[in-house]
C-alpha cells in the first residue's frame, strides 16, 4: 500500500523551541501538551502510530495542526501524517469524509451528536485498529480532537474508546466587559485583549491563541464589548475592526456578538428617539443590522443591558423590555441572529428590595418575547456575590428561554489576588431545585431547555481575561475560564472532575500533587465566603471598586450601601426577606419559598440573606449568631493559611515560576482575608457589643484604621 508520509520537521523544531522558552509563565494555558509520564506514555506509543485528518476547510486545517502539535508534544516524538490508514492511526474528519470507515453503530449514534457533538471511537477497519474522531460538522471534529488530546493530557486509557459527546446548551459565550479604550470593567488581568487602535491592520497573534483556547473548551461565541456599551461600537470604523476579529475566530467555531446601547439610533443615528415602536427607529435598526452582517456574515447577535444602572432602554419610552427586545429580534431574525436581553435590572427608583426587581419586571412578560430572544439571568438575584441563593426567575418564565449569566472575573471574589475556584459556586446554582414543575426541576434543566423543551439555550460567562501574560492575572483564574467552558458544554460534570483535568493539563504532576492542588481548589470558594460574607451576608464590599471590605458603606443611593443589605443594628443583623419583611421568598416556588422563609429549614449558609436575627440567636451548633459569625470569619483566615502551607509543600514538585507566582498571591490573599475578617468583626461588634470569642487572635488594627483605607486606582472600576 502506498503511503505518503510527511514528517513535519520544521513544525516540530518550532514546537520544541516554543516549549523551551517561557514554557511556564502560564501563557500556554491548559494546552502546553507536555510529554505524558510513564507508564501511560508507553501505552500511547503502542496505540498511536500516525495521524490523518481529512481536511477541506479552515476548521479542519486547524484540527489537523492541533492534533499534530498535541501528539508530538504528548508522545514526545515525531508523528507521521499519513494519507491512508494504518495500524495505530488517529483519523479525524466529518462523517461524509470518513463515511467508508464508519461502522453501523457510529452511523446511527452520530445522529444524536447534533450539530457540534462528536464521536471518538476505537474501531477496526480493513483489519487495522484505529481511533476515529468524527462529527456532523467540521467544528464538531475540532472539538473531538481537543477532547481526544485532553484524554491523553489527563492520562486516560485509550484502549477502547467509545465516546459520544454533545453540548447541553447551544449558545456558550464569553461576555467581555471590555471598553473601546481598552480598559476592562471589572477586569483584573491588565487591559483588553482587543487592541482596537491597531485593528484591523495589525492582527495580534494572541487573537488566534484566544480562539484556540475557547475552542478547546467548546465555547462557541464571544461578546466583544462591555454591556455598558459605547454606541461607537456600531460605527463602520469599529465594525471593520470587529470583522477582523471575527475572521480570525471563524475557523475555531467562535462567533462574534456585540453589546449595544439602546439609544444608538439617537447617539449615532441622528434620530431624536429610540422608541422601539417608532417606525423610523425600527428601520434604523434593520439597516444597522444589515450593515453589521455585511461586515460579519455569520454575526451571532446582540447583548443588551437596558434600563439598568442608568443605561437607556424601552422603559424610557414607556415600553416594556419585551417590546425593546422584539424590535431588535425582528431586525436580526432574517439573518439568524439572536438577542440576549439581560434581566439584571434595577432602575433609578429604589425598589422595596432589589432582589425582587428582576422577577417583578420580567415575569409578567413571559411568552411575549420573539423566538430568537433569550433572557439572560445572573445566577443570583443581587449581583455575583460570593454566595447567593439561585435567582427566582429560573423556573418562573416557562414560556421564555432563560440563559445563565455567570461571572468568571472575580469582581466580588478577591479579584485577581485571591485563589478561588468557582466550579462549586456555579454547580451550587445549577443543581438548585426550583420545583417549578415539581421535584427535580433544577436550574440546570431550566437553562438547558429540557424542563420546558426550549431549543434555543445558552450560558454566558463574564470573562476574566486581559493582556496579562498569563491571560487571567492569577494563574488559578485560568481554572475558572476552563470551568465555565466545560460546564457550558456539560453541566453534569462535577467540580472535582473539572479541577482534576485542569490540574493535570496545567501542572503535569504526579497524583499526590494533583490531590493536594485539588483539595486547595475545592475548599477555596467556601474559604472565601467565610472571610468575606458568611452566613448569607452580602454586598458589604468597598464602594465603587468593590475591592476589600466595606460593611460601613452608607450614604447616597440606599441600595448601593452595605447597610441596606446587612441591616445591622443593636437588635441584630440580616435582611428579612420572609413574608414579614420584603417577601422575596415569595418569588420562589412553594417548597423552596417555605424552606427559605422558615427559620427551622433555611440553610444556615443563607440565613442572613433571608432573616433578620438577634445577635444572641441560637444557631444549630448551640452557639450564638454573633459567635458563629466570628467563627466563620476566623475559619476563613485559618483556611487561607492552610492553603499557604499546602502550597508551600509543592515547592520542588511543580514548575518554579508557577510556584512562586501563586505563593506570592497566597500571601496577598492571607493579608486580604485578615483585612476582611478584622474589618467585619470590628464593625459588627459595634452593634453586637459582644466580645470576640476566647482563643481568637485580636485584630491588630482599629476599625477606624480600616475605614480610612482608600484605593484610588483600583483596577476594573
**Binding residues for ligand BDP (CB under 6 A):** 185-186, 227-228, 305, 309, 344, 383-384, 411
- If DSSP codes are grouped into helix, strand and coil, which group holds residue 133? strand
Cα–Cα distance measured from residue 155 to residue 339, given in angstroms and rounded to the nearest whole number: 41
Q: Which is nearer to ligand BDP, 402 or 637 (CB)?
A: 402
Please, how many CA atoms are within 13 Å of residue 692, restricted to the half-sphere of its CB? Answer: 18
Is 643 in contact with 520 (CB distance < 8 Å)? Answer: yes
Helix axes 40-47, 58-75, angle to 10 degrees: 130
Q: Is residue 411 annotated as part of the catalytic site, yes or no?
A: yes
Candidate list 411, 468, 523, 627, residue with the active-site label: 411
- Torsion of the alpha carbons at 502, 507, 513 and 514, rounded to the nearest 10: 10
Question: All 3 cell numbers of residue 482?
Answer: 476552563
Is 86 in contact with 51 (CB distance < 8 Å)? Answer: no
Q: How far is the CB of 384 from ligand BDP (least distance, A)?
A: 5
Q: How far is the CB of 411 from ligand BDP (least distance, A)?
A: 6
Running DSSP on this structure, what letter comes out for residue 79?
-
Q: How far is the CB of 546 from ligand BDP (least distance, A)?
A: 6
The answer to whether the peptide bond before residue 515 is cis (omega within 30 degrees of 0) is: no
Q: Is residue 267 annotated as part of the catalytic site, yes or no?
A: no
Cα–Cα distance measured from residue 419 to residue 123, given in angstroms and rounded to the nearest whole number: 43
Cα–Cα distance measured from residue 549 to residue 541, given in angstroms and rounded to the nearest whole number: 4
Burial 181-202 (b: 16+ CB within 10 A, else e): ebbbbbbbbbbbbbbbeebbee
Q: Which is nearer to ligand BDP, 123 or 224 (CB)?
A: 224
Candidate list 24, 353, 383, 523, residue with the active-site label: 383
515: left (phi over 0), alpha (psi -120 to 50) or beta: alpha
Please, how many CA atoms are within 13 Å of residue 310, restricted to the half-sphere of its CB? Answer: 3
* C-alpha pair distances (Å), 713 with each of 192, 547, 551, 664: 17, 11, 20, 21
Helix axes 511-532, 656-688, angle to 10 degrees: 30
Running DSSP on this structure, what letter comes out for residue 693?
P
Q: Give the sign of the dihedral formed by CA 133, CA 136, CA 137, CA 143.
A: negative
Q: Which is nearer to ligand BDP, 91 or 325 (CB)?
A: 325
Phi, psi angle pair for 222, to nearest 5°: -145, 130
Q: What is the largest CA-CA distance in the chain?
A: 87
Is 282 in contact with 327 (CB distance < 8 Å)? Answer: yes
Q: How far is the CB of 344 from ligand BDP (least distance, A)?
A: 5
Q: Give the sign of the dihedral formed by CA 430, CA 431, CA 434, CA 435.
A: positive
Q: Which is nearer to ligand BDP, 282 or 379 (CB)?
A: 379
Candidate list 87, 112, 124, 309, residue with the active-site label: 309
Q: Which of these, 165, 39, 105, 23, lies nearest to 658 by C-alpha position?
A: 23
Q: How far is the CB of 390 from ligand BDP (least distance, A)?
A: 17
Q: Give the sign of the dihedral formed by CA 662, CA 667, CA 669, CA 670.
A: positive
Cβ-closest position to ligand BDP: 383
Q: Which is nearer to ligand BDP, 283 or 309 (CB)?
A: 309
Q: Which is nearer to ligand BDP, 267 or 383 (CB)?
A: 383
Q: Which of these, 90, 97, 100, lies nearest to 70 by C-alpha position?
A: 90
Beta bridge partners of 262: none
- The contacts of residue 614 (CB under 8 Å, 6+ apart) are 571, 572, 625
- The contacts of residue 543 (CB under 8 Å, 6+ apart) are 550, 553, 560
For residue 389, how many other CB atoms are within 10 A of its CB? 26
Cα–Cα distance measured from residue 569 to residue 549, given in angstroms and rounded to the nearest whole number: 18
* C-alpha pair distances (Å), 214 with each of 27, 174, 276: 14, 9, 35
Cα–Cα distance measured from residue 521 to residue 420, given in angstroms and rounded to the nearest whole number: 7
Cα–Cα distance measured from residue 263 to residue 286, given in angstroms and rounded to the nearest whole number: 15
What ranges in 363-442 are assigned the alpha helix state H? 423-430
Beta bridge partners of 549: 541
Cα–Cα distance measured from residue 341 to residue 321, given in angstroms and rounded to the nearest whole number: 8
Q: Is residue 383 annotated as part of the catalytic site, yes or no?
A: yes
For residue 556, how many other CB atoms are within 10 A of its CB? 9
Q: How far is the CB of 354 from ligand BDP (least distance, A)?
A: 12
Q: How far is the CB of 114 from ligand BDP (least distance, A)?
A: 31
Q: Which residues are marked as active site? A: 309, 383, 411
Amino acid at each position: 500500500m502506498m503511503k505518503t508520509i510527511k514528517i513535519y520537521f520544521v513544525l516540530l523544531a518550532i514546537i520544541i523551541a516554543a516549549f523551551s522558552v517561557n514554557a511556564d509563565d502560564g501563557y500556554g494555558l491548559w494546552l502546553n501538551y507536555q510529554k505524558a509520564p510513564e507508564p501511560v506514555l508507553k501505552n500511547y506509543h503502542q496505540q498511536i502510530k500516525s495521524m490523518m485528518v481529512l481536511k477541506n476547510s479552515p476548521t479542519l486545517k486547524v484540527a489537523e495542526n492541533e492534533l499534530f502539535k498535541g501528539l508530538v508534544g504528548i508522545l514526545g516524538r515525531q508523528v507521521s501524517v499519513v494519507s491512508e490508514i494504518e495500524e495505530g492511526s488517529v483519523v479525524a474528519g466529518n462523517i461524509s469524509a470518513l463515511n467508508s470507515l464508519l461502522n453501523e453503530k457510529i452511523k446511527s449514534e452520530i445522529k444524536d451528536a447534533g450539530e457540534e457533538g462528536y464521536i471518538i471511537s476505537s474501531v477496526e477497519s480493513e483489519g487495522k485498529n484505529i481511533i476515529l474522531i468524527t462529527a456532523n460538522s467540521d467544528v464538531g471534529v475540532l472539538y473531538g480532537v481537543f477532547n481526544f488530546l485532553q484524554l491523553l493530557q489527563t492520562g486516560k486509557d485509550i484502549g477502547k474508546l467509545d465516546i459520544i459527546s454533545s453540548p447541553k446548551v447551544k449558545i456558550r459565550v464569553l461576555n467581555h466587559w471590555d471598553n473601546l479604550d481598552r480598559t476592562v470593567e471589572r477586569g483584573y488581568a491588565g487591559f483588553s485583549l482587543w487592541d482596537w487602535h491597531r485593528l484591523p491592520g495589525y492582527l495580534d497573534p494572541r487573537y488566534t491563541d484566544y480562539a484556540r483556547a475557547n475552542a478547546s473548551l467548546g465555547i462557541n461565541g464571544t461578546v466583544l464589548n462591555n454591556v455598558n456599551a459605547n454606541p461607537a461600537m456600531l460605527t463602520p470604523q469599529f465594525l471593520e475592526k470587529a470583522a477582523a476579529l471575527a475572521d480570525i475566530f471563524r475557523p475555531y467555531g467562535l462567533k462574534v456578538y456585540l453589546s449595544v446601547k439602546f439609544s444608538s439610533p439617537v447617539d449615532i443615528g441622528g434620530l431624536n428617539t429610540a422608541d422601539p415602536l417608532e417606525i423610523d427607529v425600527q428601520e434604523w435598526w434593520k439597516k444597522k443590522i444589515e450593515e453589521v452582517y455585511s461586515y460579519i456574515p455569520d454575526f451571532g447577535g446582540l447583548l443588551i443591558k437596558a434600563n439598568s444602572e442608568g443605561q437607556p432602554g424601552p422603559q424610557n419610552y414607556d415600553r416594556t423590555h419585551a417590546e425593546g427586545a422584539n424590535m431588535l429580534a425582528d431586525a436580526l431574525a432574517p439573518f439568524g441572529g439572536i438577542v440576549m436581553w439581560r434581566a439584571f435590572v434595577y432602575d433609578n427608583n429604589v425598589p422595596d428590595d432589589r432582589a425582587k426587581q428582576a422577577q417583578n419586571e420580567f415575569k409578567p412578560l413571559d411568552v411575549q418575547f420573539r423566538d430568537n430572544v433569550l433572557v439572560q439571568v445572573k445566577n443570583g438575584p443581587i449581583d455575583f456575590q460570593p454566595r447567593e441563593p439561585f435567582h427566582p426567575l429560573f423556573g418562573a418564565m416557562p414560556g421564555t428561554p432563560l440563559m445563565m449569566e455567570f461571572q468568571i472575573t472575580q469582581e466580588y471574589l478577591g479579584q485577581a489576588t485571591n485563589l478561588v475556584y468557582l466550579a462549586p459556586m456555579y454547580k451550587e446554582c445549577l443543581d438548585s431545585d426550583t420545583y417549578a414543575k415539581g421535584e427535580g426541576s433544577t436550574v440546570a434543566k431550566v437553562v438547558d431547555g429540557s424542563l420546558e423543551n426550549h431549543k434555543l439555550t445558552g450560558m454566558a460567562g463574564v470573562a476574566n481575561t486581559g493582556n496579562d501574560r498569563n491571560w487571567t492575572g492569577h494563574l488559578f483564574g485560568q481554572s475558572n475560564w476552563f470551568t465555565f467552558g466545560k460546564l457550558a458544554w456539560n453541566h453534569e460534570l462535577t467540580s472535582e472532575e473539572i479541577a482534576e483535568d485542569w490540574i493535570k493539563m496545567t501542572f503535569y504532576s504526579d497524583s499526590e500533587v494533583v490531590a493536594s492542588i485539588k483539595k486547595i481548589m475545592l475548599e477555596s470558594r467556601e474559604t472565601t465566603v467565610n472571610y468575606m460574607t458568611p452566613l448569607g451576608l452580602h454586598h458589604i464590599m468597598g464602594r465603587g471598586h468593590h475591592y476589600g471590605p466595606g460593611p460601613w458603606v452608607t450614604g447616597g443611593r440606599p441600595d448601593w450601601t452595605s447597610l441596606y443589605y446587612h441591616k445591622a443594628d443593636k437588635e441584630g443583623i440580616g435582611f428579612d426577606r420572609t413574608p414579614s419583611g420584603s417577601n422575596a421568598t415569595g418569588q420562589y416556588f412553594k417548597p423552596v419559598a417555605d424552606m427559605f422563609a422558615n427559620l427551622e429549614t433555611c440553610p444556615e449558609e443563607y440565613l442572613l440573606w433571608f432573616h433578620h436575627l438577634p445577635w444572641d440567636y441560637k444557631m444549630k451548633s448551640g452557639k450564638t449568631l454573633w459567635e458563629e459569625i466570628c467563627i466563620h470569619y476566623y475559619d476563613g483566615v485559618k483556611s487561607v493559611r492552610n492553603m499557604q502551607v499546602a502550597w508551600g509543600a509543592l515547592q520542588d514538585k511543580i514548575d518554579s515560576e508557577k510556584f512562586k507566582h501563586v505563593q506570592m498571591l497566597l500571601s496577598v490573599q492571607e493579608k486580604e482575608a485578615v483585612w476582611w475578617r478584622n474589618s467585619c468583626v470590628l464593625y459588627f461588634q459595634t452593634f453586637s457589643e459582644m466580645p470576640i470569642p476566647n482563643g481568637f487572635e485580636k485584630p491588630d488594627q482599629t476599625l477606624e484604621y480600616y475605614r480610612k483605607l482608600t484605593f484610588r486606582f483600583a483596577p476594573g472600576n
